[in-house]
Chains A and B, each alone.
Chain A
């Protein structure tokens, strides 16, 4: 038997502060036991219950891609007890990881299609995972055009600037960055995500869009996409909820008869329309 509540133990390998206000950090974790890392097989879009032993657990989307071998990464915003604890952790600290949980982005179903990735703010972490996965040389040939639209409040909030730079250099991916209001030194787009999507107008033919961000952004973006003839089954969303167990047992993350932790967190817009409006 295996106790499903016992986390794998990992060590903090590196910590990167992602923004100027210093409330978002990316933590890279290295498994203490190699065989446990092998067991931890995940796809982009899944999350893990990471725990600071003695403080508690919280569900965080996996920011690294399975193609980046050896370690896993989480981007954590300082919010509650546990996340604040993560922010004060140091290299070498022990952190528990349980998972992977959830269904993740349907990378198999996406094969052969054009992919549009739309992200806003801090919700970009599992999108980073997805894009890196798609761009990997093993997988790139399976997918069509890739477009990334990533919006932020101001330039200081943009996450993963190093990988974004790399993507911009490549010719097999189109990267559109935007900020809400003009700022000095910013050369990319300016404006909210929804109007930028309208401007870029990605085609809905044989395409799947992945939309992640704050609720208001999702709402406006989806309205724009519907205008652009995107069907609800083509738009994918990742939901959040308060979670405790991450494995469909503790009960709190249900929307209707579905659990976000096991049936989600990725739902297509078509699926969400079937479910009660309680998320």
Chain B
């Protein structure tokens, strides 16, 4: 399959051609907050960005999603299933780390127990990802430490590389390749373009300055559930949901019923929820298995770096760095992981002596 070139001024053309068939999502700037929104005008697409503040998980796992709707009539109930799951979605301009998070999402929603989350999986199946390599990663990014790469291509359908005034287009999956065939007006890429893209990839990887020994932390965490380090880690945390809500791999949700009593109808919806909230685990009896901030903070780190690897042999983090630079009290994940790595080594040394 030959690689193609998409000129930057052709984005509008691409949009116009695909918008009829797909729900077209792309990064959009709304008062400084970049998030993936359904695009109405091609001018709104913003591709010259570091990364979106709201992760693109919001497209397939929105902060509020209807599970089903119902009508209540005296004693009878009628349930209406979701009708929109077959619509095709296209996410344009997604970063490699976020694309990888979709894989983790699908992996989680299709395993654990014998019931799959068909709502998510169906939508995922009907989604085409067009990603862009990260030419200028943030200093807070650490994807290379968690099985990622600023030019990781395998989770995308089409992969673009920003060459300055144009994009190099590579078809990755079959879905992507057939899409390229459809866009017959794309010009062919030259040898020099490919070379430039390789150089950019190399440069980007070098630009990731944060290195974390995540695998080491996984090992240490297996035995540090009771370690006093958690007191220290959770001290500054205020218990808000920023880290979880803006994490591309956090899947937890709450289910609530909403009734429009005057119209005798209602809907059951799911909304984002976070393990940092005290209420998250509180039982009706009043008992709360994770009653303190220490336990809740521990659960978040353990979930991503111990439970997730234990269950699926994968890290539950994609290294996007959102929780690092958006935490209100700067409770830096990188620092936390380094602390975990360090403390244990000290103890090992003691044991040797």
Interface residues of A (CB under 8 A from B): 1-7, 9, 51, 53-58, 79-80, 83, 92-94, 96, 101, 215, 240-242, 244-245, 247-257, 259, 261-262, 276, 278-279
A residues in contact with B268, CB < 8 Å: 5, 51, 57
- List the B residue with the shortest CB-CB distance to A7: B79
Q: What 1/0 mask marks residues of chain B from 289 to 320 whose CB sits below 8 Å from any chain A CB?
A: 11000010001001100111011000000000
- List the B residue with the shortest CB-CB distance to A279: B289
B348 at the interface (CB under 8 A from A): no
B residues in contact with A3, CB < 8 Å: 67-68, 81-82, 118-119
A residues in contact with B290, CB < 8 Å: 278
A residues in contact with B281, CB < 8 Å: 241-242, 252-253
Give the docked Cα–Cα distance between A254 and B114 (Å): 17
A residues in contact with B75, CB < 8 Å: 92-94
The one of A5, A54, A242 in contact with B67, judged by C-beta atoms closer than 8 angstroms, is: A5
A residues in contact with B225, CB < 8 Å: 256, 276
B115 lies within 8 A of A251 (CB): no
Give the docked Cα–Cα distance between A57 and B141 (Å): 40
B280 lies within 8 A of A242 (CB): yes
A57 lies within 8 A of B112 (CB): no
A120 to chain B minimum Cβ distance, whole angstroms, is 14
Q: What 1/0 mask marks residues of chain B from 118 to 139 whose CB sits below 8 Å from any chain A CB?
A: 1100100000000000000000
B113 lies within 8 A of A247 (CB): yes
Listed from nearest, the 4 A-B pairs whose CB atoms lie closest are A262-B113, A251-B252, A257-B307, A248-B112
A residues in contact with B310, CB < 8 Å: 257
Q: What 1/0 mask marks residues of chain B from 245 to 258 whose CB sits below 8 Å from any chain A CB?
A: 00000011111110
B77 lies within 8 A of A94 (CB): yes
A139 to chain B minimum Cβ distance, whole angstroms, is 24
In chain B, positions 50-85 with a C-beta closer than 8 Å to chain A are 67-68, 70, 72, 75-77, 79, 81-82, 85
Could you show 14 A-B contacts with beta carbons less than 8 Å apart? A4-B116, A4-B118, A6-B67, A56-B257, A57-B257, A240-B283, A242-B284, A244-B255, A245-B253, A249-B112, A249-B253, A250-B273, A251-B251, A253-B281
B112 lies within 8 A of A252 (CB): no
